[in-house]
Amino acid sequence: MSAAAKLAPAAIADRGEIEDFLAHEAALLDEARYDEWLGLFTADAWYWVPAQLGQRDPYETISLMYDDRRLLETRVRRLMQGLLHAQTPRSATSRQVTNVAIVEQQPDAALVRSKFVVVEYRRDTQRLFAGTYFHRLVRAEGALKIASKRVDLVNCEAELEGLVVPF
């Protein structure tokens, strides 16, 4: 048993499993395995990229992306379409997820904060995105699942070109 698990016996997962999970999620996105990425989310999950630093909610303020489960499914289906102008040609990405911290523990869920860097290359241009992830993880049928994912980009208030590949 790991030290983290001893300290927090009610945890749904230890740090090692959570870090592996986040690395796996990043790999699925880098490899454009979007349907498998969608499979990591719970049936009523949401995915959120605020448009303002410290944004309180996705209802009173616009968001770069705010998908309830229904829209997330549509987003993923669009990403997997053969004909997608905004991804012709496709992007290549490389992600790093670090500084993983379990900030809140409940018997059935954990709120995990991590730092990320996403490098996106497409059509002669390389873009760099960085920020903080907040994953709310739960365990369902033995596996970790994402109940919600918030992505705080450091440049969320900047003038930006289109954002198509999820963070």
Partner 1 sequence: MSKHSTQTLAQLVQPDRVHRTLYTDPAIFALEMERIFERTWIYVGHESQVRNPGDFVATRIGTKPVLLTRHGDGRIHVLHNQCAHRGAQVVADASGNAQEFRCCYHGWSYHTDGRIKNIPLRHGYSQRLDVNDPKLAMVQVPRVQSYRGFVFASLVADGPSLADFLGYIATSLDDMVDRAPDGEIEVAGGSFKHVYHGNWKLYLENLLDVAHPLFVHQSSIEAAKVQDDSVPSDGSGEIAIRQMRQNGASYGFFESQVGIWAYPNGHGYMGDYHDDAKLVAAMNDPVFREYREALEVKKGAAEAKRILEVKRWNTNIYPNVSFMSQFQQFRVVHPIAVDKTVVYTYQFRLKGAPDRIFRHAIAFANVVNGTGSLVLTDDLETYNRIGTGMGSAGAEWIQIGRGLDTDVPDAHHGRRGKNSTSEIYLRNMYDAWLGYMTKGGRGLAAAAE
**Interface contacts to partner 1, rule CB under 8 A:** 43-44, 46, 49, 51-52, 55, 58-75, 77-78, 81, 83-86, 88, 157-164
Distance of closest approach, residue 138 Cβ to partner 1, in angstroms:
15
Nearer CB in complex with partner 1: 9/82: 82
What is the CA angle 38-167-120, rounded to 5? 120
Residue 98 has φ and ψ, to the nearest 5°, of -140, -175
Distance of closest approach, residue 128 Cβ to partner 1, in angstroms:
16
**Collapsed DSSP state (helix, strand, coil) of residue 124:** coil
Nearer CB in complex with partner 1: 2/52: 52
CB crowding 128-145: b at 16 or more within 10 Å, else e = ebebebbbbbbeeeeebb
Distance of closest approach, residue 7 Cβ to partner 1, in angstroms:
35
